[in-house]
């Protein structure tokens, strides 16, 4: 009697065996394995993968592009010369703009000014409250195209905080209140002019940098009522862009040499920006960025001196790396795939669609590490951001 052969399908592997497989996979490989079939996805439930410790780059297709079908691309540095396409996230996603990222989550705004928090890896989505007339009058809605926001979300409980600002308004919402609330005008300070916000969940403080005043406003979200303004060294220290961030100390340099250096710098200068960031320990950093005519990029990082209460330049981030999009540093010591003492950069303003503006900047060598060409060739993209799946709250 002949022995009949059983035809087995990969989808019929037992869950215990699949879990043994998952234990040997990287975070990125587990995300891909979960999408193979429903049984593999079911086996992954309750499984805690090794925490991802590397930033990923997400690229958004440009509107009207033939690639704009509700998907986006991921570049995972540890996989080097590969990019991955997400599942179809819907027409709304293709027509939306990313305002902020946190962990695996994206804060998206559609063409009707509605906001949602989306996890492109799992498809989970949280719709945020609609804007009402008293919060942001209809006549100001067109300003939302250039608005910016700050996102924090707990990956387990899905508690979240979103702060949203446009030219004349600063509003927030969080889980449980089901509406947008405006900051008290006595705290906002008239026309806001905020260009970046960073939230420290452990301290429950929001740091907001105002370009027009060159200062940092700090609010505490410790209670259930509206946030309260906090006065710290950072809030009293002017943060505006200055050529002096990139020039030698005038008082320690021969006057003629200083003027010569300043002239050369000004002749090469094209544009400059200021960002703020929080270190792993919660310290506020000021990050000055300049691009020159030769397409050379310069970065300077400052922290508040506890002695003088003024900005003091630091030459190294030590065992940390700065994810400038998110305004945070992350631990990078002995972690394959992430460069310590480096800045992960993806452009600013209109430069987010320029492949030349995506790189990792080594602070020690002042050298730029470009991303592989495969990252940019598959699609025409309108925006790209570094984000951090698996980030601990």
Kindly report, residue by residue over 221-244, the tens digit of the pLDDT: 987 778 888 887 676 677 676 677
Query: In the chain, pLDDT over 90 holds for what percent of residues?
Result: 28
- Please give the C-alpha separations between residue 242 and each of 40, 199, 214, 246, 263, in angstroms, as whole numbers: 54, 25, 10, 8, 14
Task: List the chain domain ranges.
Answer: 11-49, 53-387
Statement: residue 220 has pLDDT above 90: yes
Res. 39 pLDDT band, cuts 50 70 90: confident
Helical packing angle, 15-22 and 27-34, nearest 10°: 150
pLDDT digits (tens, 9 = 90+) for 235-289: 667 767 667 788 776 545 556 677 787 888 888 888 888 899 999 999 999 999 9
Please write the tens of the pLDDT for every residue from 179-200. Answer: 998 886 554 554 457 788 999 9
The total of other beta-carbon atoms located within 10 Å of residue 172's CB is 21
pLDDT confidence tier of residue 51, bands split at 50, 70 and 90: low
CA distance 272 to 64: 31
How far is residue 5 CA from its own chain's centroid? 53
Residue range 95-102: mean pLDDT, rounded? 89
Spatial CA neighbour of 299 closest among 307, 310, 283, 288: 288
Lowest mean pLDDT among 55-64, 103-112, 316-325, 353-362: 55-64
Q: Classify residue 103 as left (phi > 0), alpha (psi -120 to 50) or beta.
A: left
> Residue 371: which pLDDT band, with cuts at 50, 70 and 90?
confident
More confident residue, 168 or 293: 293
What local confidence, expressed as pLDDT, does residue 190 receive?
45
As a whole number, mean pLDDT of residues 292-304 equals 92
What is the separation, in whole angstroms, between the first and last Cα of the chain?
Answer: 62
- For the segment 54-63, what is each residue's pLDDT rounded down to a tens digit? 888 988 877 6
The pLDDT value given to residue 349: 67
- Give the CATH number of domain 53-387; options: 2.120.10.30, 2.40.50.140, 3.40.1440.10, 3.20.20.140: 2.120.10.30
């Amino acid at each position: 009697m002949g022995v009949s052969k059983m035809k087995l399908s990969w989808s019929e592997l037992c869950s215990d065996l699949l879990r043994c497989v998952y234990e040997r996979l990287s975070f990125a490989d587990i995300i891909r394995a979960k999408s193979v079939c429903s049984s593999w996805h079911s086996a992954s439930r309750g499984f805690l993968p090794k925490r991802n410790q590397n930033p990923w780059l997400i690229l958004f297709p440009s509107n009207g592009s033939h690639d704009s079908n509700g998907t986006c691309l991921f570049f995972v540095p540890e996989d080097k010369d590969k990019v991955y396409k997400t599942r179809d996230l819907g027409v709304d996603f293709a027509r939306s703009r990313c305002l902020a990222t946190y962990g695996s989550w994206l804060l998206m705004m559609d063409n009707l000014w509605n906001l949602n928090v989306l996890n492109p890896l799992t498809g989970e989505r949280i719709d945020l409250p609609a804007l009402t007339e008293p919060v942001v009058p209809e006549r100001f809605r067109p300003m939302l195209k250039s608005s910016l926001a700050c996102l924090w979300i707990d990956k387990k409980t899905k508690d979240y905080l979103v702060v949203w600002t446009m030219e004349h308004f600063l509003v927030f919402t969080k889980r449980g209140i089901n509406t947008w609330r405006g900051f008290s005008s006595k705290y906002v300070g008239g026309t806001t002019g905020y260009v970046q916000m960073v939230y420290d969940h452990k301290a429950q403080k929001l740091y907001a940098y105002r370009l027009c005043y060159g200062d940092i406003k700090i609010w505490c979200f410790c209670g259930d009522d509206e946030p309260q303004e906090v006065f710290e060294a950072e809030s009293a220290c002017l943060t505006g862009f200055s050529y002096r961030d990139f020039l030698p100390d005038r008082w320690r340099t021969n006057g003629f040499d200083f003027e010569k250096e300043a002239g050369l710098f000004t002749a090469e200068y094209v544009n400059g920006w200021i960002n703020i960031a929080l270190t792993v320990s919660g310290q506020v950093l000021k990050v000055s960025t300049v691009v020159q005519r030769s397409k050379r990029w310069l970065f300077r990082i400052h922290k508040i001196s506890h002695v003088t209460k003024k900005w003091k330049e630091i030459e190294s981030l030590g065992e940390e790396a700065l994810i400038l999009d998110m305004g945070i540093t992350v631990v990078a010591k002995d972690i394959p795939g992430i460069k310590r003492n480096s800045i992960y950069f993806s452009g600013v303003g209109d430069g987010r669609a320029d492949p030349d503006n995506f790189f990792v900047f080594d602070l020690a060598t002042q050298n730029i590490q470009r991303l592989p060409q495969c990252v940019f060739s598959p699609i025409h993209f309108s925006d790209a951001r570094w984000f951090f799946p698996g980030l601990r709250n």
